[in-house]
């Protein structure tokens, strides 16, 4: 399967994107050397979410060119990034699922800051050769598909949303992530908000007990399985879907509109949520199923996570300098890679938060 060049170039340190790879789990459990030991001259090391990996790869390259500071990043999944930061084997983590209170309590280095870096979307991809992009789906229908209650593409519940579309009477092959994933967290967070049955079981999380379907590792695994299998449905992030020319569905939002995933519709999802944030927010907020016109409902922040008190002053300075660059100049690189930049008002507040790092 074709993978975008910037992902291939991003980092070759891991064989797969999923944080549940045997190597990652074994190394951590066995007390192996921290990730910094494999980082060949890097000034900073990080690990975590695959969702923003294309953006982070571009950022790290641009920042190294500008400052000479080299940043090594391993896209091993949000769960892996949280674990490695908690164990202090990397300088920063990255996640699409904010850490829970329980996870924060287990971190060995003290309090952790969540710094939103971009806005993205989880998109629903499907493989129906005779059905063009823009198939209309609702959260309730998606939940029923992923619970094994809707098994044919011409099911009346799908057909009623897509008048005039010739849906085939073929089986739906459900594809989901097999590894711990922030993309799964965002997708399941959305389904839990729109479907009481989904909220009860399997609920939301980075890893789920899926009722049905075929598991695949990483965004590339899910996308590859859908792309090569007629009748398949899956989910991935917007940048990955666009770069690989995958067919995406329009999803009904809280206002009743069917909205396609775009930078504009993702930005719209954040606008209302940001206005409601309290002054003392820690930015662990969900914006799925946000209210408002033009909102794409499966939208989310992605976060870099770092300790509020740095053990190494020199590395801490390099990290905060990079974060401030990412929140200012780096925002201009987002749209070209299909991420939505943070609103200006939010950037200012986040730079102040980064300045609080000791």
Q: How far is CA 357 from CA 266, 305, 313, 319, in A?
A: 29, 12, 10, 10
The neighbouring-strand residues paired with 173 are 232
The neighbouring-strand residues paired with 300 are 120
CATH no. of 122-264: 3.40.190.10
Q: Which residue has the tokens 């029923």?
A: 144
Q: How far apart are CA 228 and CA 78, in angstroms?
A: 26
Cα 195 to chain centroid distance, Å, stands at: 21
Strands 112-126 and 92-95 turn out to be unpaired
Tens place of pLDDT per residue across the chain (358 aa)? 444 433 333 333 333 333 333 333 333 332 333 333 344 578 999 999 888 888 999 999 999 999 999 999 999 888 889 999 999 999 999 998 888 889 888 888 789 999 999 998 999 999 999 898 889 999 999 999 999 999 999 999 999 999 999 999 999 999 999 987 888 999 999 999 999 999 999 999 989 999 999 999 888 899 999 999 999 999 998 888 888 889 999 999 999 999 999 999 998 888 767 767 777 788 888 899 998 899 999 999 999 999 988 988 999 999 999 999 999 999 999 988 889 898 887 888 889 888 888 8
Options 3.30.420.40, 3.40.190.10, 3.30.365.10, 3.30.930.10; CATH for 5-120+300-355 is 3.40.190.10
Strands 71-74 and 44-48 turn out to be parallel
Task: Name which of 124, 117, 105 is nearest 49 in CA terms.
Answer: 117
Give the start-to-end residue ranges of the domains of the chain. Answer: 5-120+300-355, 122-264
| Contact by Cβ (8 Å): 336, 118 | no
In the chain, count of helices (H) and strands (E)?
14, 11
Same fold, 5-120+300-355 and 122-264: yes
Q: How far is CA 351 from CA 161, 194, 329, in A?
A: 44, 34, 12
Q: How far apart are CA 248 and CA 67, in angstroms?
A: 38
Cβ burial of 35 (10 Å; 0-12, 13-18, 19+) is buried
Q: How far apart are CA 114 and CA 100, in angstroms?
A: 11
Tell me which DSSP letter residue 104 carries: H
């Amino acid at each position: 399967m074709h993978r975008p060049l910037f992902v291939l170039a991003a980092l070759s340190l891991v064989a797969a994107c999923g944080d549940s790879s045997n190597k990652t789990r074994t190394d951590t459990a066995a007390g192996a050397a921290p990730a910094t030991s494999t980082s060949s001259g890097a000034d900073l090391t990080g690990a975590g979410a695959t969702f923003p990996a294309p953006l982070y790869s571009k950022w790290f390259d641009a920042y190294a060119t500008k400052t000479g500071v080299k940043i090594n990043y391993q896209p091993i999944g949000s769960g892996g990034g949280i674990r490695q930061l908690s164990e202090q084997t990397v300088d920063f983590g990255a996640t699409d699922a904010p850490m829970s209170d329980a996870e924060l309590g287990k971190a060995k280095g003290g309090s952790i800051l969540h710094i939103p870096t971009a806005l993205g979307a989880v998109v629903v991809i499907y493989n129906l050769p005779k059905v063009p992009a823009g198939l209309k789906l609702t959260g309730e229908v998606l939940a029923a598909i992923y619970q094994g209650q809707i098994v044919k593409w011409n099911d009346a519940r799908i057909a009623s949303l897509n008048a005039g579309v010739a849906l085939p009477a073929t089986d739906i092959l459900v594809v989901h992530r097999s590894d711990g994933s922030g993309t799964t967290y965002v997708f399941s967070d959305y389904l839990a908000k729109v479907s009481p049955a989904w909220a009860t079981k399997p609920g939301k999380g980075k890893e789920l007990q899926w009722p049905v379907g075929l598991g695949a590792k990483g965004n590339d695994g899910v996308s590859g399985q859908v792309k090569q299998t007629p009748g398949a449905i899956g989910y991935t992030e917007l940048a990955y879907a666009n770069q690989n020319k995958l067919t995406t569905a329009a999803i009904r939002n809280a206002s009743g509109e069917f909205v396609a995933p775009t930078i504009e519709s993702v930005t719209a999802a954040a606008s209302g949520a940001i206005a409601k944030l309290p002054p003392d927010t820690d930015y662990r907020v969900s914006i799925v199923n946000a209210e408002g016109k033009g909102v794409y409902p499966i939208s989310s922040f992605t976060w870099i996570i770092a300790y509020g008190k740095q053990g190494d002053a020199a590395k801490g300075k390099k990290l905060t300098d990079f974060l401030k660059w990412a929140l200012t100049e780096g925002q201009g690189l987002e749209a070209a890679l299909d991420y939505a930049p943070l609103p200006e008002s939010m950037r200012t507040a986040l730079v102040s938060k980064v300045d609080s790092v000791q």
